[in-house]
């Protein structure tokens, strides 16, 4: 057996080395498919890793307890203090009024204490690292500074208190952990908050209590302890493993959308592989018959061309993995500002491995049918032009094709964030393929029965739709799939856009 | 007997429109003899050769070649049976365009699992007078040279039986004569059986026997 493969390898290599051209379509489609998958996988893994690496600074602590419309009670505070160091912030929406024109703008007022931030740094636009501003002073975000035309040294009023701008905020460490905000941020010290008189019974605000745990303490256990001690306090408790739940949800949505793109890329790659291999082997008809005349049996033909196809596939997959693995960096360079965090610079083996496996399975599943046809090309074909080939694949090839497709589906479902969603997509894709094939058949059937037009060009065109070996089917399926995928992606893109765009209330609450 | 065929028929084409190509052919060929196969175009010469060379399965009748019952074999078994035993030379040369002369000649021996395929191939190319062109691709060779490579490919494994279907059909008469000389010399050296299809009565006379076909049957045999 090994000897037979060795013989096949010798012949395959010589035949291929001269011109790899014939398998270009296979190489391009596999490369694109694998590169897309690897890029998507690496990017999502990179962002997810970065998010959890930065969990502490995103959250501003190891554990965060959030209350809405009320401050923590003294009993609660002392419980938090007993667990570690405590930092307290209060956040609310308020009108900022100031600047030369006494303009007003809805802003996010954030009051911090002196412990803030436990992780990361609060920096001003001039690079200075600062703690909470002094009483009566304020740091404002660049947007606020621009819109109200206030610079450092100017004043801005929140509620009943007027603050002197002590600096423009450069970086707020827990920005992502705060989730979507309604307006630009302004930071004051907790001590200044009562002066604004904005905290009234019934006013909308959130207080966040960040706890910095001793090294040895387990954040999850701390969360449990707080929950069991204050079961009806209405706390929203998060630990550092999930520093930015909103952002994480966004990334997950995004990942799902990208998975769709990936699956679509796979289907397209598969069609490309099938067509590429098909036309390559078609161009090899005479060579295959010649090999048979000189003593190759159909298994040897299969081996020779399987080796060629897999060799080209391996190169394409490898190149795809290379490209995909550096994609996060490339994407970061181009649209880095749009990403919540830069994807960490490293190679993520799991998504790369998954992409490679997909590539191999796609290559096998879609190359096997034309290969199975090629092995039936008769030796006697050299003696005559027309030779009937059996269209049906042999049993072993059928088993191989089925196994590869099953493996692809299993992989797609098992690696999906939402398996049901992926399963649904695959089922829909299958149905679509069936419908398109049926349409193609119908088209051929109609073309065959239509009366022959008088115009030669028309007659030729019509005949081309149903002559033996016509590409009608492949074309209809490819076009239909392409169009459907395109519309699907556009639709999803729109709905994602709508969902992620913050819904700004028209009027102030 | 190198070849023993009796009552061979071959029917091809679709089921609803079958074409009877061979209609009961009987032919016996002694080891080491040479046979010329003549007949008008479409009479079934190539088809008969395909059946005798194990490239096509007969529809009915018995075909025994080199002691093997071709009728009992499937396509793949026939392919393996050809290895090292049967050499085929065709009108259109049919070299693999992606391989050099040497690699083309080595193929049948590699497929037969012979260890010295490339040495034997080089030796055979020297014999046919192309020792200096071993690394040339078919596209770099003239028609006559390509046919020499094809002959080397058919002969290198020293087969018992050689089939040649109009081997000079694509060549001018001078080049063709050289090819025929080579074919006959080499066959004599190897003491191989030769079955050659031709339209040239002069060439046919060089063979031990002449068999004429018409409409799917043998109509005349002369020694
Ligand atoms: N696949 C096929 N289906 C139907 N008929 C075929 C097929 N192949 C060949 N034929 C027919 O079989 C007959 C014999 O063909 P064959 O090639 O054996 O003739 P030939 O004697 O070699 O002719 P030539 O001298 O032109 O080479 C021809 O009439 C041909 O049209
Ligand atoms: Mg012929």
The domains of chain A are located at 2-53+246-417, 57-242, 420-501
- Closest ligand 1 atom, CA of B216? 14
Q: What is the mean pLDDT of residues A373-382?
A: 83
H-helix or E-strand containing A165? strand A161-171
B56 and A7: CB-CB below 8 Å?
Answer: no
Least Cα distance to B65 among B205, B183, B163 occurs for B163
Q: Which residue has the tokens 């990936």?
A: A262
Q: What is the pLDDT of residue A111?
A: 92
From the CA of B41, the nearest ligand is: 1
Q: Which range, A12-26, A246-260, B131-145, is most confident? A: B131-145
For the ranges A17-26, A130-139, B11-20, B184-193, the lowest mean pLDDT is seen at A17-26
Band the pLDDT of A503: cuts 50, 70, 90. Answer: very low
Q: Going by C-beta distance under 8 Å and a sequence separation of 6 or more, which residues neighbour residue A227? A: A235, A237
Beta bridge partners of A92: A109, A205
**Among A15, A382, A384, whose Cβ lies nearest the Cβ of B94?**
A382
Give the residue numbers spanning the domain of B188. Answer: 3-222
In 10 A of CB A359, how many CB atoms?
A: 27
B47 and A383: CB-CB below 8 Å?
Answer: yes
Token pair listed for A310: 């897999």
Give B41 Cα–ligand 1 centroid separation in angstroms: 8
More confident residue, A479 or A98: A98
B96 and A291: CB-CB below 8 Å?
Answer: yes
Cα B63 to Cα B7: distance, rounded to the nearest angstrom: 9
Band the pLDDT of A504: cuts 50, 70, 90. Answer: very low
**Judging by beta carbons within 10 Å of its beta carbon (0-12, 13-18, 19+), is residue B191 exposed, middle or buried?**
exposed
CA–CA distance from A505 to each of A95, A182, A409 (Å)?
14, 9, 44
Q: What is the pLDDT of residue B59?
A: 93
| pLDDT surpasses 60 at B156 | yes
User: Which ipTM score applies to this complex?
Assistant: 0.94
B99 and A293: CB-CB below 8 Å?
Answer: no
Q: Kindly write down the DSSP assignment for every residue of B57-106, as one continuous string.
A: --SEEEEEETTEEGGG--HHHHHHHHTTTEEEE-TT----TTS-HHHHHH
- Residue pair B165/A384 in contact by the 8 Å Cβ criterion: no
Phi, psi of A314 (to 5 degrees): -60, -45
Cα B96 to Cα B90: distance, rounded to the nearest angstrom: 13
Band the pLDDT of B96: cuts 50, 70, 90. Answer: very high
Number of helices (H) and strands (E) in chain B: give both, helices first.
7, 10
pLDDT digits (tens, 9 = 90+) for A290-309: 999 999 999 999 999 999 99
- Residue pair A481/A271 in contact by the 8 Å Cβ criterion: yes
Phi, psi of A505 (to 5 degrees): -70, 145
Q: Is the dihedral of CA A109, A114, A120, A125 positive or negative?
A: positive
For the ranges A35-49, A241-255, A309-323, A451-465, the lowest mean pLDDT is seen at A241-255
Q: What is the mean pLDDT of residues A20-44?
A: 85
Contacts A10 to B, Cβ<8 Å: 110
Angle, CA of A420, A422 and A423, to the nearest 5°: 60
pLDDT digits (tens, 9 = 90+) for A453-473: 777 778 777 777 776 656 666
Least Cα distance to A372 among A352, A345, A404, A396 occurs for A396
| pLDDT surpasses 60 at A502 | no
Q: Going by C-beta distance under 8 Å and a sequence separation of 6 or more, which residues neighbour residue A125? A: A142, A167, A168, A169, A170
Whether chain B has a CB inside 8 Å of the CB on A136: the answer is: no
| pLDDT surpasses 80 at A115 | yes
Cα B81 to Cα B86: distance, rounded to the nearest angstrom: 8
- Closest ligand 1 atom, CA of B166? 27
Whether chain B has a CB inside 8 Å of the CB on A293: the answer is: yes
pLDDT digits (tens, 9 = 90+) for A162-202: 999 999 998 888 877 776 677 889 999 989 889 988 888 87
A11 and B79: CB-CB below 8 Å?
Answer: no
Q: What is the pLDDT of residue A499?
A: 52
Q: Which of A22, A280, A300, A383 is the best mutation test for B, with the most CBs of B within 10 A?
A: A383
Q: What is the pLDDT of residue A441?
A: 81
Who surrounds ion ligand 2 at CB < 5 A?
Answer: B 46
pLDDT digits (tens, 9 = 90+) for B204-213: 999 999 999 9
| pLDDT surpasses 70 at A492 | no
Q: What is the pLDDT of residue A440?
A: 79
Q: What is the pLDDT of residue B33?
A: 94
A14 and B112: CB-CB below 8 Å?
Answer: no
Q: Which long-range contacts (CB under 8 A, 24 or more apart) does B102-108 make?
A: B102/B134, B102/B135, B103/A14, B104/B138, B104/B149, B104/B153, B105/B149, B105/B152, B105/B153, B105/B156, B106/B156, B107/A11, B107/A291, B107/A294, B107/B153, B108/A294, B108/A295, B108/B83, B108/B84, B108/B153, B108/B154, B108/B156, B108/B157
More confident residue, A469 or A101: A101
pLDDT digits (tens, 9 = 90+) for A385-428: 555 555 566 788 888 888 988 898 888 888 776 777 778 877 88
Least Cα distance to B53 among B70, B67, B40 occurs for B70
Q: What is the pLDDT of residue A40?
A: 86
For the ranges A247-251, A300-304, B129-133, B151-155, the lowest mean pLDDT is seen at A247-251
The edge-to-edge listing of strands for the beta sheet with B60-65 is B19-29, B3-12, B60-65, B68-69
Q: What is the pLDDT of residue A506?
A: 42
- Residue pair A304/A8 in contact by the 8 Å Cβ criterion: yes
From the CA of B37, the nearest ligand is: 1
Give B219 Cα–ligand 1 centroid separation in angstroms: 17
Cα B178 to Cα B181: distance, rounded to the nearest angstrom: 5
For the ranges A37-46, A360-369, B5-14, B162-171, the lowest mean pLDDT is seen at A37-46
Least Cα distance to B37 among B133, B180, B163 occurs for B163
3-class DSSP state for residue B27?
A: strand
Q: What is the pLDDT of residue B25?
A: 95
For the ranges A94-108, A437-451, B47-61, the lowest mean pLDDT is seen at A437-451
Q: What is the mean pLDDT of residues A53-64?
A: 78
| pLDDT surpasses 90 at A120 | no
Q: What is the mean pLDDT of residues A151-162?
A: 90
H-helix or E-strand containing A85? strand A85-98
Token pair listed for A379: 């030796």
Contacts A295 to B, Cβ<8 Å: 79-80, 82-84, 108, 111-112
CATH code, domain with B30: 3.40.50.300
pLDDT digits (tens, 9 = 90+) for B20-70: 999 999 999 999 999 999 999 999 999 999 999 999 999 999 999 999 999
More confident residue, B216 or A46: B216
Q: Which of A380, A385, A388 is the best mutation test for B, with the most CBs of B within 10 A?
A: A380
Least Cα distance to A297 among A4, A13, A61 occurs for A4
| pLDDT surpasses 80 at A263 | no
Beta-carbon contacts below 8 Å between A and B: 91
Q: Which of B96, B134, B137, B164 is the best mutation test for A, with the most CBs of A within 10 A?
A: B96
B99 and A18: CB-CB below 8 Å?
Answer: yes
The total number of structural domains in chain B stands at: 1
For the ranges A130-144, A481-495, B173-187, the lowest mean pLDDT is seen at A481-495
Q: What is the mean pLDDT of residues A260-265?
A: 75
3-class DSSP state for residue A389?
A: coil
CA–CA distance from A419 to each of A121, A237, A415, A430, A461 (Å)?
40, 28, 8, 16, 45
């Amino acid at each position: 057996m090994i000897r037979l493969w060795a013989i096949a390898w010798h012949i395959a290599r010589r035949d291929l080395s001269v011109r790899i051209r014939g398998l270009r379509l296979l190489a391009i489609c596999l490369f694109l498919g694998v590169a897309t998958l690897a890029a998507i996988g690496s990017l999502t893994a990179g962002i997810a890793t970065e998010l959890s690496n930065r969990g502490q600074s995103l959250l501003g602590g190891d554990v965060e307890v959030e209350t809405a419309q009320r401050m923590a009670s003294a009993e609660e505070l002392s419980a938090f203090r007993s667990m570690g160091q405590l930092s307290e912030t209060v956040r609310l929406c308020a009108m900022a009024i100031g600047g030369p024109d006494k303009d007003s703008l809805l802003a996010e007022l954030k009051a911090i204490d002196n412990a803030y931030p436990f992780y990361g740094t609060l920096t001003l636009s001039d690079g200075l690292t600062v703690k909470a501003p002094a009483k009566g002073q304020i740091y404002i975000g660049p947007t606020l500074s621009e819109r109200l035309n206030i610079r450092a040294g100017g004043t801005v009023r929140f509620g009943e208190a007027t603050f002197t701008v002590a600096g423009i905020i450069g970086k707020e460490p827990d920005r992502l952990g705060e989730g979507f905000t309604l307006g630009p941020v302004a930071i004051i010290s907790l001590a200044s908050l009562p002066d604004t008189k904005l905290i009234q019974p019934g006013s909308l605000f959130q207080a966040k209590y960040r706890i910095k745990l001793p090294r040895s303490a387990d954040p999850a256990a701390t969360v449990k302890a707080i929950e069991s001690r204050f079961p009806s306090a209405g706390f929203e408790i998060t630990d550092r493993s999930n520093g930015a739940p909103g952002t994480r949800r966004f990334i997950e949505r995004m990942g799902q959308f990208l998975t769709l793109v990936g699956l679509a890329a796979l289907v397209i790659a598969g069609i490309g592989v099938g067509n590429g291999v098909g036309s390559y082997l078609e161009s090899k008809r005479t060579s295959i018959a010649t090999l048979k005349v000189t003593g190759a049996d159909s298994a040897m033909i299969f081996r020779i061309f399987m080796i060629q196809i897999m060799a080209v596939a391996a190169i394409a997959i490898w190149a795809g993995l290379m490209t995909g693995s550096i994609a996060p960096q490339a994407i970061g360079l181009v649209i880095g500002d749009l990403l919540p965090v830069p994807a960490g610079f490293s190679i993520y083996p799991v998504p790369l491995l998954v992409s490679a496996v997909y590539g191999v399975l796609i290559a096998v599943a879609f190359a096997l049918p034309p290969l199975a046809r090629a092995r039936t090309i008769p030796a006697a074909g050299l003696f005559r032009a027309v030779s009937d080939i059996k269209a049906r694949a042999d049993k072993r090839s059928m088993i191989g094709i089925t196994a590869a497709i099953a493996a692809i589906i299993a992989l797609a479902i098992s690696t999906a964030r939402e398996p049901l969603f992926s399963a649904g997509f695959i089922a829909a894709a299958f149905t679509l393929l069936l419908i398109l094939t049926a349409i193609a058949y119908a088209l051929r059937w109609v073309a065959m029965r239509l009366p022959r037009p008088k115009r030669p060009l028309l007659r030729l065109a019509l005949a081309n739709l149903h002559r033996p070996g016509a590409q009608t089917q492949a074309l209809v399926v490819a076009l239909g799939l392409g169009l459907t995928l395109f519309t699907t992606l556009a639709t999803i893109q729109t709905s994602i856009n709508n969902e992620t765009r913050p819904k700004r209330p028209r009027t102030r609450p | 007997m190198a070849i023993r065929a009796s009552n061979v028929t071959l029917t091809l084409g679709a089921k609803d429109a079958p074409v009877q190509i061979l209609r009961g052919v009987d032919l016996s060929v002694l080891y080491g003899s040479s046979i010329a196969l003549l007949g008008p175009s479409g009479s079934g010469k190539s088809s008969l050769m395909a059946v005798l060379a194990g490239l096509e399965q007969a529809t009915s009748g018995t075909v025994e070649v080199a002691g093997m019952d071709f009728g009992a074999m499937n396509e793949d078994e026939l392919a393996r049976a050809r290895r090292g035993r049967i050499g085929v030379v065709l009108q259109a040369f049919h070299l693999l365009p992606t391989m050099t002369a040497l690699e083309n000649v080595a193929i049948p021996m590699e497929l037969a699992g012979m260890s010295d395929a490339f040495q034997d191939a080089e030796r055979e190319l020297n014999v046919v007078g192309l020792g200096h062109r071993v690394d040339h691709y078919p596209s770099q060779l003239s028609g006559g040279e390509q046919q020499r490579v094809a002959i080397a490919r058919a002969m290198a494994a020293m087969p018992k039986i050689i089939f040649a279907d109009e081997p000079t059909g694509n060549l001018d008469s001078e080049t063709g004569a050289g090819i025929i000389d080579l074919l006959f010399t080499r066959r004599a050296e190897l003491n191989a059986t030769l079955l050659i299809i031709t339209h040239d009565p002069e060439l046919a006379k060089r063979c031990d026997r002449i068999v004429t076909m018409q409409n799917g049957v043998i109509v005349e045999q002369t020694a």
